[in-house]
Chains A and B, each alone.
Chain A
């Protein structure tokens, strides 16, 4: 059954089978390939998106579950004219290495700052559970702190 939803602010009708994970609908039906496939079992976070503002691992959410909800992907985190402050910080701190996990890292960090604008290290530890095999973690932490400080 078609699923009506909003993706990055635009209303869309999705036609994938009900049990298809949101990840594959985003990637294959909508061509939004910024959201990455890492494990398919919600263990790595590469597929993180926001559903009604909550960071969610889209590989484990069937498309039927997002009817009527608002989805934001990395392509919708900033705008064409202005990067999200975290994206700008990611560039300023030269965070990515291979970069594959960074869409998910940014979505997780954005959700954290939306909830807790000045997170402690412990809050960052608890919120940032996405895997980065290049281990860019020190710069991820620094970039989050930089944005948290900048908006103070």
Chain B
């Protein structure tokens, strides 16, 4: 079964609306194993997700990697709030890459989306989800799912159920009815007699009780930690250099290797003379892989010199004729042929587009491949000894990483240990199926008689990426005599069908979304906010064009097409109000607005921008309004939205991966320009808090940024950007 991240959106929204389920402890074997792997003497393990020590320390095991999104802290807040734990005694640890820690809560979200019958979820026993998570496997960090899936279905439920077990244990010890007991700050108290017991005193016995499957969760008024801007656990170690990332791991006697893979993806290594590398001091070995050559040395520098001394011959896999231009031409041809692979929408679009007296608009939009450009290049350390393989590194799914390591090393999973470490960014790049270093370390470690760490150069990182797809779209619409949109059609070409992810919030009588599948030699990869990046740009640019065609204000035009009283409208109104929409601006400065829902969260941005004399766009300010239902940690939520906005602006301004002869043209930051501090505008972020289903936050801040910027530049210059990046188009 192939689990697809892009189903998370629908699944998440549907399940969250359906209530909260007990989970996990239906699978007793997994629970017992989790307990055995994490729990010391006299500690109480609760479903394997959390343990309480005799000294009251609460340790939460996160099945998600925290690569900067702050989810470890937020997940612990959610559990500790339901538990009524003393926050000063709460810790978080990364769950081991073991099937016992497969993420059943996340499995539930995935399967509900995949089945197309979200209601089914409520009728399946939880053991089904637990089994799925173990076998699929699922320890994914992605889809902006940690809080809305794992937090809601896992952490809060475990915390609440453990609290009830602690109360029941205390009731027995004190000989009083459970109903007379209250909890606060990791204590159970019997107010009538003034007696109380610490959680640490109760935990071992409480953990032996069967946990309630469907505990009643707190409501907003009772939150003590959810919604509080507590400090993140991981930050102190990230300011003094002590945090150990995957690339920092070392073992005595360790060798260091680096890699050069076929420049054209799909190509194979035909041959290489190892002599020039072996002639370099410090180089010990040259290893040939199917599609790459690896140089093993005493350190990274000799390894790099070694690999650069080689002249390997690679095939091009038949892709040598591929370039960004040929891809664009092929994508355009697909649209002209007019035979979509999938069609969605409703209403008679053809009739709507032909509305008598209607005004028609057609526009072609294009976006390039994008690279995640995480700051930490790939690095993994492997140690093969006594028939077993141990690997240290960072990916967005430790459990799947372990299974892949076993496969590539030719070992049983039981003989492979994977130690997940913190990572210097991911943004979708580190999903195991296309994290090539997993296969590389498995194959290299078994050929080296020492521990060995592979480190990718930045050039390898840029050239061997797993990119957001290059995509083309043709948008068409007609305005009726009333100035409203009568029909809208989007024809888009890219590998994945985006239908399950992309939300079209506007009320239009006839809408068609037509997907044309196009396969290049690049992998189908996830890039922060995935399909919502390009589709947010298409839809929110094009509706802006329609507003201008209708002679209407872009904000009011959107407003007129949104359902009255809805969350989208509230978000749009709030951002317009905060940004002072409609107030006077200096000459040459324009305001743009955009509204995109993704991963269960609605975001609208207003960007204020101008263009310098040399054609460089300059962003002065950004306002963002976000409705994700509940923010668990508002300060961290704000950081995620600001980071997403700046990453979105960065892509719009200058980022592009292009192909020539099937190979990537770019190689490092000078030709893949990532936004720097001087270009980062002031940003105002506001959250609308409500009891609406909790949405994701790692990604949704990004998609509205590029269309809001281009809409602002149109307002400033009268020039419409339909192809990203903007680069020198306004020069």
Residues on A facing B (Cβ under 8 Å):
16-17, 19-21, 24, 27-28, 31-41, 43-44, 46, 73-75, 77-78, 83, 87, 90-91, 94-103, 106, 124-126, 128-141
Contact = CB atoms under 8 A, between A and B. Distances in A.
B386 interface: no
A61 B682 CA distance: 35
Contact of B231 (A91, A138, A140): A91
Contact of B458 (A17, A39, A77): A39
Interface string B364-391: 0000000011111100000000000000
Contacts of B636: 94
B243 interface: yes
B354 interface: no
A36 B234 CA distance: 17
A83 B68 contact: no
B2 to A, nearest CB: 28
Interface in B415-460: 422-427, 455, 457-458
A73 to B, nearest CB: 7
A140 B375 CA distance: 17
Contacts of B678: 125-126, 128-129
Contact of A43 (B302, B642, B670): B670
A139 B70 CA distance: 15
B646 A37 contact: no
A145 to B, nearest CB: 13
Given A39-B458, A131-B375, A138 B70 contact: no
Given A36-B424, A133-B373, A97 B669 contact: no
A134 B376 CA distance: 12
A102 B302 CA distance: 27
Contacts of A32: 241
A34 B240 contact: yes
B299 A24 contact: yes
B266 interface: no
A20 B236 contact: no
Contacts of B610: none
Nearest to A33: B248
B238 interface: yes
B240 A21 contact: no
Which 5 residue pairs of A and B lie closest in terms of their CB atoms, listed nearest first?
A34-B241, A100-B424, A99-B238, A97-B68, A98-B68
13 contacts: A16-B299, A17-B282, A17-B302, A31-B250, A34-B242, A41-B458, A95-B235, A100-B376, A131-B375, A135-B647, A135-B650, A136-B639, A136-B643
Given A126-B678, A135-B675, A140-B677, A90 B375 contact: no
Contacts of B372: 133
Contact of A75 (B240, B635, B682): B240
Interface in B273-313: 281-282, 299-302, 304
Give the interface size class of chain B.
35 or more
Nearest to B457: A40
Contact of B235 (A19, A74, A90, A124): A90
A99 to B, nearest CB: 3
Given A43-B668, A97-B70, A98-B424, A90 B674 contact: no
Contacts of B639: 94, 97, 136, 139
A10 B235 CA distance: 27
A23 to B, nearest CB: 9
B67 interface: yes
B683 interface: yes
Given A28-B299, A37-B300, A91-B239, A137 B677 contact: yes
Given A38-B458, A135-B650, A91 B235 contact: yes
Interface of B: 67-70, 231-232, 234-245, 247-248, 250, 256, 281-282, 299-302, 304, 372-377, 422-427, 455, 457-458, 635-636, 639-640, 642-643, 645-647, 650, 668-670, 674-678, 680, 682-683
Nearest to B304: A40
B243 A99 contact: yes
Contact of B674 (A97, A100, A133, A138): A133
Most central of B372, B675, B680 by chain A CB within 10 Å: B680
Nearest to B248: A33
Given A17-B282, A43-B670, A135-B643, A94 B235 contact: yes
Contact of B239 (A21, A24, A96, A125): A96
A103 B646 CA distance: 21
Nearest to B425: A98
Contact of B677 (A17, A20, A43, A129): A129
A100 B635 contact: no
A86 B70 CA distance: 21
Given A126-B678, A133-B373, A133-B374, A21 B424 contact: no
A141 B677 contact: yes
A38 B375 contact: yes
Contact of A21 (B301, B670, B680): B301
A40 B455 CA distance: 12
B647 A133 contact: yes
Given A28-B300, A91-B236, 14 more contacts: A33-B247, A36-B245, A38-B376, A44-B458, A73-B241, A98-B376, A124-B677, A128-B677, A131-B375, A133-B372, A133-B374, A134-B68, A135-B643, A135-B646
A134 B643 contact: yes
Nearest to B254: A28
A87 B240 contact: yes
Contacts of A77: 240
Nearest to B462: A39
Contact of B669 (A44, A75, A141): A44
B420 to A, nearest CB: 14
B144 to A, nearest CB: 15
B371 to A, nearest CB: 10
Contacts of B239: 83, 87, 90-91, 95-96, 99, 102, 106
Contact of A99 (B68, B247, B256, B455): B68
Given A31-B250, A129-B678, A133-B425, A24 B300 contact: yes
A96 B241 contact: no
